[in-house]
Structure 1
Amino acid sequence: MAKLKFTKTALLGLKPPETGKRLAVYDTEVPKLAMRITSAGSRTFYVVKRAGASIAWVKLGTFPEMTVEQARGEAQKILGEFASGANPAAARRAIRQEPTFTEMLADMLAHKKKRDGSPITERTKKDYLDTSRLHMGGIANSKLSHITRSEVKAIHTKASKKSARQADKAVAIISSVFNYAADHEHFSGTNPASRIQKNAVVSRDRFAQAAELPYLLEAIGESSLSDFFLLSLLTGARRSNVQAMTWRDLDLDSRIWRIGMTKNGTPQNVTLPREAVAALHARKRTTGTSQFVFPGEGKTGHLVEPKKAWAAILRRASLRRLLGHLESLGKLTAEERKQADHQITSAPAAAEKRYRSIADALEIDPALYDMTDLRIHDLRRTLGSWQAKTGASMAIIGKSLNHKSLQSTAVYARLDLDPVRQSVETATQAMLEAGGVKQPADVMNLLAKRKTTK
C-alpha cells in the first residue's frame, strides 16, 4: 500500500499505471483518504473504510478540481459520520445534501434576525451580496465542508490590497454564514474564518474645521439637497436616519425628532436646534403630501443616494477655498476672482481643472484647500467634535449621537435631554458662527441660495 503526504505537486507527479490497471495511494495526514489513478490519468479522491466484512470506497471528487485541503476536510466529515454509526451511503448522501456557501448565505439573509428580532434590512442584504460577489467567487459554489481556512485567508489577503475594511468585512460575513449554518445544524465542522487576524485600521477622526466651514456652508446652500446636508450637520444623525425622516416623527414645537430604530438597535430622541427647526418649517411647504421629509422616486419613497450632490458640494467648497488662497497670494485680481466664481457655478469641471493646475504649478499643498476627503458621515462627527471643542462631556456627546458601549450605556440612560440640548445648541452656534451664519434667518438665506443659483 503506497503512502505519501498529499500535495498538489506530489499528486500531479504520480505516473498513471499500465493499461487496464489502477493505482491507489494513501495520504499520510488522513490515513483513510486515498486517491485512485486510472491508466487514462484520471485522479479521484476516496475515503476507504471497512464496513463489516467489506471495504467501502466512498467517492469524494476528482483531482485537481477538488483540492487536497477540500478532500481532507470532506474525508474527516465522512469519517465522523462513520464513527457515529452511519453507513457509507448515508454518509455520502449527507455530504451531497450539504449546502454551498452561496446557498447558505441566501438562507441566512432570508431568515436571520437582528438582536431586536427585526429582519435584516434590504440595505444590509445588498451590502452582503455585493461583498460576496466582489471577494468570494472562489468559494461561492463550494460545499461548506470543502471551504478551508487557507482559502479564507487568501480572500482576506487579496481584498486587503484594495481595502483593509472590505477585507475584514468579507471575513466577518464568511464567519457569520458558518455560525448561522452551525446554529441551524447545516454544518458541524470548524469555522474556517475564525481567528483570522484583522487589518490594523486607524480610526477616522476627520471633521469640518473652522477654516473650512464658511466654504462648506456656502456650497451646501447652493445644493438642491441643502436641507438634507444642513440637517445632517445640525443634528449629527446618521445618514440613513436623515434620509428616512418622516413628518410624523417630528415635534417641531418641542424641537424633538423621534427615531424609532437606529443602527445600534435602540430608539433615539434627537434634539433639534432652532436653525434645524427653521429649515424644517420651510421644507414642510415644499414636500407636498409625502410622509417623508426628503421624498424620493424609488421603492423606499425617500431619498436614497446623495453621494453625487455631496461630491459637487465638496468640489465647489474646495475650489472657492483655493481661490481665496490664490487671491491672498496676489495671484488673482478682484475681476479674475469674480470670473472664477462664475465659472465654478457654470462649468465646475473646467474650473476645477484650470485652478488645480495653477495650484500645482505654484506648488501649493492641496491640504491647504482640498476638502474632498470629507465624507457625509463626517458631518455627524463634526457635531460631536464641536461639542467637545465647546466643553461638552463625553457622556453628553454619546447621548446626543446615540453612541452605545457597555461602559457608558448606564450613564447615558440617566441623562435627560436638557444638558444635551444645551450642548448641541452651543456646538451649533459655534459651527454656524465659524461659517459666517449667526441667526435662524441667516439659515433661511443660506437655503434660499439654491433657488437662485444656476
Structure 2
Amino acid sequence: MSRQTNKLTATAVKSAKPTDKPVKMADGGGLYLEVRASGGKYWRMKYRFAGKEKLLAIGTYPEISLADARKAREKAKERLSEGVDPSMAKQLERKLGQQVAANTFQLVAQEWLERVHQHDVVPDHYQRNRRRLERDAFPVLGKRPLSEISAAELLACLRRIEDRGHVETAHRVKALCGQVFRYGISTGRAERDPTPDLRGALRPHRSQHFAALTEPSAVAELLRAIDGYGGQPVTIAALQIAPMVFTRPGELRQARWSDIDLDNALWSFTASKTDQPLLVPLPSQAVAILRDLYGLTGRSEYVFPGARSHKRPMSNVAIKAALDRMGFKGQMTAHGFRAMARTILAERLGYPPEYIEQQLAHAVRDSNGRAYNRTQFLEQRREMLQRWADYLDELRQAHPSSSQSSAQ
C-alpha cells in the first residue's frame, strides 16, 4: 500500500501557528513544512541517497507555495530515480547560476575595460570606448551570459546603431565587442568570438578625410591668422606649435612638461595609435614658444592645460573652435596639420616618405619588415623639422600675393 501524499491544504499551511517548539507538518513523500518558534515556515524534504538519510532545503513559505513545494518534491524524486542527489544538484545549480551572473557581457566588458583597456590607450580614448559600450552594447547585451551570445544576437545589437545612421560607430562597437569576447575566451568565460562571423554584415564605413590646407598660399594665410588670433595664450601656443610638429591632436594637447627636454630640444611620449615610444625633435621656434609658455603653465602637469582647470589638459575641441572662429571652418581641422605637413614636406621640400611617416608616428617598417624604433631617423627628422619650421616662417613673412612663388 503506497503512502499517502498531498495531505496538506493551502489553508492549513497559511494558518499554521508557531509553538514553543518547531512543528513538522507532513505532506507525504518526504515533504513537510517546518514551523519554527520564531514564526518562520520552511519547506523540507527527507530522502535517502546511497543508504543515508538526507534533507533537501526547498525554501521558505510564502515565497514557495504549497504547489511549488510539491513540484520541487517531484523534481527531486525524478533526480533520485536517475541516481542523482537532489541536494548536490541544487548546490551545483546555485553555483552555476552565480558563475553565469558573473560572466555576463557587461561584467566581463567592465573587467576588460578596467584591467586591460585603460592601460593600453590614452585616457580620452578609453573614456570614448567605455561610453560606446555603455550607450550601445550594455542595454542590449549587458545581462546576457557572454558564452551564450550568438552572431545573430550581436548583429541585431549593431544594426540598432547602424539604423540610427551611425555606421562608423557600429563598426567601432563591433571591434570593441570582439576584444571583450577574446578577453572572455582567455579568462575561461567564453568559447569563441562571434564577431568574425559578421564580416560583410554591416554597411561599409567610408573614412572621413579631415579638412586640411595643402597649398602654400593658403597655409601662409592660416599662419598669419594664427599670429593675429586674440584667444587664450595657451590656445595660441598650441596653434603655433601644432603645424611645426604635426603630432596627433590628442598627443599635443595632452603633452606633459615631464616629457619635454627643452635643453636638448626633444619631446618623448608614447604614440596613441601604435602604442610605441616616439621622440619628436623640436625646432628652435617651438622651443622658444615652450620656454615662454613655461612661465604660464610650468606648474601644471600639462603643457596646454584646460581653461577651467590646470589639472586637466585643454579641451579636445579648443583648436578646432579657434580655427572655426578664424574663418577656416570646413577648410582646416586640428588633425589637418598632419596632412598639410605630409603633403608639403614630400611634394615641395622633397623629404623621403620614411622620415615623414616616422614623424607622423605611423607603423613604418624597414625592408625586412621590422618596425623602426623611436630613435630611427632622429637626426634626419631633426633637420627636417627645423627646415619645415623655417619654411613656415618664410610663408608667414611672405607678401600674400607672392606666397605661391616663394614656396616654389
TM-score bracket, normalised by the shorter chain, equals: 0.5 to 0.7
1:412 paired residue among 363, 372, 381: 372
Provide the secondary structure at the position in 1 that maps to 2:196.
Answer: coil
AA paired with 2:175? A
Pair 1:144 & 2:150 matched: no
Query: Residue 55 of structure 1: CA displacement?
Result: 11
Q: Which amino acid aligns with 1:140?
A: G
Amino acid at match of 1:422: E
Pick one of 344, 360, 377 that aligns with 1:386: 344
Query: Does 2:208 correspond to 1:208?
Result: no
Asked whether the 8 Å contact 1:216–1:317 carries over to 2, the reply is: no
TM-score normalised by the chain length of structure 2: 0.64
After superposition, the C-alpha distances for 1:96-142 in whole angstroms (9 at most, x for unaligned) are 5222211111111121268xxx4655433311221113322211222
Alpha-carbon distance in structure 2 between the residues aligned to 1:296 and 1:406: 36
Q: 1:433, 1:152 → 2: CA distance?
A: 55
Report what 2:68 is aligned to: none
Per-residue deviation at 1:379? 1.7
Structure 2 Cα separation of the partners of residues 215 and 88 of structure 1 = 77
- Shift in CA distance, 382/88, structure 1 to aligned 2, threshold 3 Å: farther
Q: Which residue of 1 aligns with 2:389?
A: 428
Shift of 1:88: 8.4
Cα distance in structure 1, aligned partners of 2:343 and 2:385: 11
Return the alpha-carbon distance in structure 2 between the equivalents of residues 145 and 254 of structure 1. 53
2-structure distance, mates of 1:132, 1:93: 28
Q: Give the C-alpha shift of residue 417 in structure 1.
A: 1.8
Pick one of 290, 293, 297 that aligns with 1:280: 290
1:349-390 Cα offsets, whole Å, 9 max, x none, are xxxxxxxxxxxxxxxxxxxxxx42533122223222222122
| Bigger Cα Rg | 2
Give the equivalent residue in structure 1 for 2:196. 194
> In the alignment, which residue of structure 1 is the partner of 2:175?
172
Change over 3 Å in CA distance of 1:426–1:193 after alignment to 2? same
CA displacement 1:267-319 (0-9 Å, x = unmatched): 1110112221221122123225334322337788242414145224224223x
Where do 5+ consecutive residues of structure 1 fail to align? 1-49, 57-85, 319-370, 439-454
- Separation in structure 1 between the aligned mates of residue 390 and residue 354 of structure 2, nearest angstrom: 20
Q: Percent identity?
A: 19
> Does the CA contact (< 8 Å) of 2:319 and 2:334 recur in 1?
no
Aligned residue for 2:65?
A: none
- 2:351 partner letter: A
- For residues 307 and 213 of structure 2, what CA distance do their matches in structure 1 show? 31
Quote the RMSD (CA, aligned, Å): 3.4
Identify the residue that residue 7 of structure 1 maps to in structure 2: none
Which of 107, 110, 113 lines up with 2:114 in the alignment? 110
Call closer, same or farther: CA 1:172–1:407 in 2, change over 3 Å: farther
Give per-residue Cα distances to partners, 1:188-238, cap 9 Å, x unaligned.
3x3232232362433636432224323432443313201112212211122
Deviation of 1:91 after TM superposition, in Å, equals 6.0
- The answer to whether the aligner puts 1:317 opposite 2:318 as a matched pair is no
Match of 2:96 in 1: 94
For 1:260-279, what aligned pairs fall within 5 Å after superposition?
A: 262-279=272-289
